[in-house]
Amino acid sequence: MPLTGAHPAETRAAALRLLRETDLSIAAIAARVGASARTVWHWNVRAGWPRPPRRRWILTARWPAARRAALLRLLGASGADPADIAEVLGLDRPGPEALVWAFGPALAPAVRARLDQPPVDPAILRAQLCGHIARQIATFDAALSRETPALRDSARVLRDLGGLKRLLDTVGADGERSGAGERSDDGTEPDLPALRAEIARRYAGFVGDRASA
């Protein structure tokens, strides 16, 4: 295997830039920078595959069954970013089409469906979250209005109330920065300041009751 030290660092850097930023073939890049194709390929490997190898996904067919199963679990895991997994495998960070091309039939159907979904407007997600928080608070309000002793002493209720208040603070701050008139998914505008004040009042009251008990 050729030694990278036989070429100036500038030559290697130029080759890696062409690998990342152009569609030139390895041979064309080698001719342009004055190195052999084998040397350019070696630089590509050592740099973590800035130019993914063609049809690399075929190699997964040679993996042990346990390794293939682990890949499918990772690809289908909730919250996992297939692009992160591709980068770990040395495929840089390809887009959706390149991911399907890279993994081929190994790409889990759930991942394919996720890649086909258009990006959701953050304002819509924030409005839906506001509606969900409002419904959660309404549920707590109905339960707390009964003033059941067991519920009043529940650490879980206090924790959930505190979590909802922090979530409302965060969502409210984001909404104020965006300046958008957002609505919840039932068509009503959530009154975030009032909700925050009410939940803060209830939370403080229950904490005070527990401290004096």
Which DSSP state fits 146? T
Contact 202, 144 (CB under 8 A): yes
Distance CA 94, CA 74 (A): 17
CA 18, 19, 23, 28 torsion-angle sign: positive
Mean pLDDT of 30-53: 88
Instruction: Give me 58's structure tokens.
Output: 């075929």
Give residue 11's pLDDT: 94
Instruction: Give me 117's structure tokens.
Output: 């979904």
Higher pLDDT among residues 125 and 27, named by residue: 27
How far, CA to CA in Å, does 78 sit from each of 15, 22, 81, 86, 120?
A: 38, 34, 9, 16, 17
Q: Is the pLDDT of residue 49 over 70?
A: yes
CA 38, 39, 41, 42 torsion-angle sign: positive
Distance CA 189, CA 99 (A): 40
Break the chain into its structural domains and give their ranges.
Answer: 4-46, 56-116, 122-212
Distance CA 93, CA 87 (A): 5
Distance CA 84, CA 91 (A): 9
Tens of pLDDT, residue by residue over 168-188, are 666 666 555 554 444 444 445
Distance CA 161, CA 199 (A): 7
- Name the band, by pLDDT with cuts 50, 70 and 90, for residue 33: very high
As a whole-number percent, the residues of the chain with pLDDT over 70 amount to 38
What's the half-sphere exposure (Cβ side, CA atoms, 13 Å) at 193?
Answer: 1
Tens of pLDDT, residue by residue over 88-106, are 766 555 555 555 655 655 5
